[in-house]
Amino acid sequence: MAGTSRNVRVLVTGANGFVGSHIVSLLLSRGYVVNATVRRQTASEKLIATFACDRLHVFVIPDLTSEQALDEAIRGCKYVVHVASTVPSKEQASGIDIDSAISSIESVMNSAVAHASEKVVLTSSMSTHLDVKAPILNESTWYTPDRSSTKLMVQYMSSKTLVERRAWELSSTLKLPLTTVAPVYIGGPTIIHEQDPKSSVSNQDLLRCIEDESRSRIPGWIDVRTVAHLHLHAIEDHSLNGRRILACTHNRGVVPMDCSLMNSLLAKDSAALIDFDRTKRDLLEQIDAFNSGQTRRVVA
């Protein structure tokens, strides 16, 4: 494991998102200095209000694909956690811009090398491991992308796969250590002040699953706080360089997955393992509190 986190600076892209905000919270709690990127000024203001910490520095970067976009934000960062990504929703009218997603990881990796960062951790997805011909998903299985598909979920899976493939190519050519964290569906409470806990696409799916799990086709779940801990392990444990962490703590048995690497990490970090019942309870309690707060504001 790495040494003390005091004064160690970490760049987190997509820091205001569902996963990104939990990673920021965990890093700050462990004493790291965090350089966080968001796309909009309003997101910056919410992030600053949520954490109110002088070790958090927020940078508004509307477009990660532009050359040298990260120059200011990445300066002095020992580690880089690239979380920023487009998650598909049924309301999304246009398709996913795969080329922009690939350009973003190229920008991140090249900037990391240019500014002497020591490692990149990429938030990937279980879908990148989804080889339909494999008897079990593991570190070596890969989804076969289809760029011609008009189906939003296929576009998402193709995008995540092509981005991760490109990241590994650059890791090899640039001699830059890389670890990926590939969760299944993620659930749990949100962390940004005044954010509707139902606004997370994953939480919407989780709520549908809670209503009638027997009808859900979702392969499995993991708590967002556990996902944050896995990113922290990826940063601190240099033996994870070059590894793909497939992450699922509540496998519904639909898709066999080898999560032995994740299990070995969580065995050493009991605080990180959150059971599915707690995930559901914490989410439902937060939704009730949010709805009650909304009602009080309307009445007032």
**Residues of each annotated binding site for NADP(+):** 14-20, 39, 63-64, 83-85, 156, 160, 183-186, 199
Rounded-to-integer distance, Cα 141 and Cα 58, Å = 36
Binding-site residues = 14-20, 39, 63-64, 83-85, 156, 160, 183-186, 199
Does 160 qualify as catalytic in the annotation?
yes
**And the tokens for 68?**
């040298």
The DSSP secondary structure of 120-179, one letter per residue, reads EEEE--GGGG--TTSSSB-TT------TT---HHHHHHHHHHHHHHHHHHHHHHHT--EE
Rounded-to-integer distance, Cα 107 and Cα 86, Å = 16
- Sheet harboring 178-183: ordered strands across? 56-60, 33-38, 9-13, 79-82, 119-123, 178-183, 244-247
**And the tokens for 184?**
């299944």
At 79, which helix (H) or strand (E)?
Answer: strand 79-82
Q: Which of 160, 175, 268, 280 is catalytic?
A: 160
SS3 258: coil
Helix axes 224-236, 18-29, angle to 10 degrees: 60
Catalytic residues, by residue number, are: 160
